[in-house]
Amino acid sequence: MSAFIKSTKENNQIVIIETDGYLNNEGGEAISAICYEKIKGGQHKFLINMAGTKVVNSIGVSILIEIIEKLQEVDGKIGYYNLAPIVAKTFNIMGLTKYSTVYTTEEEAVGAL
Amino acid sequence: MKKPSVELKLPILPNMELIATQTAEVIARHMNLTEDQSGEISMALIEACINAFEHSKTDSNVFIHFLIEEDSLVMKVIDQGIGFDKTKVEIPKIENKIGKDERKRGWGLQLIQELMDSVEFESTSDGTTVTMKKNIKH
């Protein structure tokens, strides 16, 4: 597993991926690899805990758009929590918040997703 | 008195943009910028560097100049590539990307313009200079 993926776990049938470090193309691909494998296994709900990711670039975030697109095909959902303010602002500018949700805590996210 | 400035020369190698953001963070602390301002400057810088790395189509270095002014921070990202025509860059919209064949990337200029107070592009066949300015509210 990529060093960018700190951990993965499941809570209430939601796959929770905890990241650590720079969300660039490699980080994005590490997330998508897990999501696509889990989608093949029948899981359709994902949360990304980004507490350890203070820096992103648009290439990495674009890969999250690809995941959103893939999840639309299976009526799935993805959300994020513990975002740094600039990461949340970037998601907003790029429009991710129109197709997925930013939560404050894991508890809130698991309850809502 | 001459205004303080910082200059970097970055080789085109993976993740070199993070050297620029680390420098920007030090300058932001020196200028007493807020965490939000510092984050916006770093994000814009990352995108400008990536554009320079990817689109300059050259293996020469990318130069970054930080100009510290009393009421603003000016950052110039300079490459020696083949240049680009900004009028041919479409404004990206996620609605046009989701569920369509259109590539998902292409957000760099949009992010830079949203995060900075002013942005200027000078591009010729000898290279491109992106000048980004963040006004500082004291």
CB contact under 8 A, A89 and B39: yes
Average of pLDDT values for B45-54?
Answer: 95
The chain B residue lying nearest A91, using CA atoms, is B111
Q: What is the dihedral of CA A47, A49, A50, A56, to 10 degrees?
A: -20
Tokens describing residue B15: 């993740």
Split at pLDDT 50, 70, 90, the class of B3 is confident
Residue A56 in 3-state DSSP?
strand
Q: Higher pLDDT residue, B3 or A65?
A: A65
Give the pLDDT confidence score for residue B101 in this predicted structure: 78
The encoded tokens of residue A85 equal 């303010």
Q: Please check whether residue A25 touches B, CB under 8 A.
A: no
Structurally, chain A folds into a number of domains equal to 1
* CA dihedral over A26, A29, A31, A37, signed as positive or negative: negative
Contact B36 A99 (CB under 8 A): no
Q: In CATH, what number is assigned to the domain containing residue A106? A: 3.30.750.24
How many angstroms separate the Cα of A37 from the Cα of each of A63, A67, B66? Answer: 15, 12, 44
Torsion over CA: B102, B104, B110, B112 (sign):
negative
Arch. (CATH architecture) of B5-135: 2-Layer Sandwich (3.30)
Is A57 in Cβ contact with B93 (below 8 Å)?
no
Residues in chain A closer than 8 A to B17 (CB atoms): 57
Chain B nearest-CA distance from A70, in A, is 9
Low-confidence ranges of chain A (pLDDT < 50): none
The domain limits of chain B are 5-135
Task: Find the domain containing A43 and state its range.
Answer: 5-112
Inter-chain touch A58–B97, beta carbons under 8 Å: no
Q: Does B94 touch chain A (CB under 8 A)?
A: yes
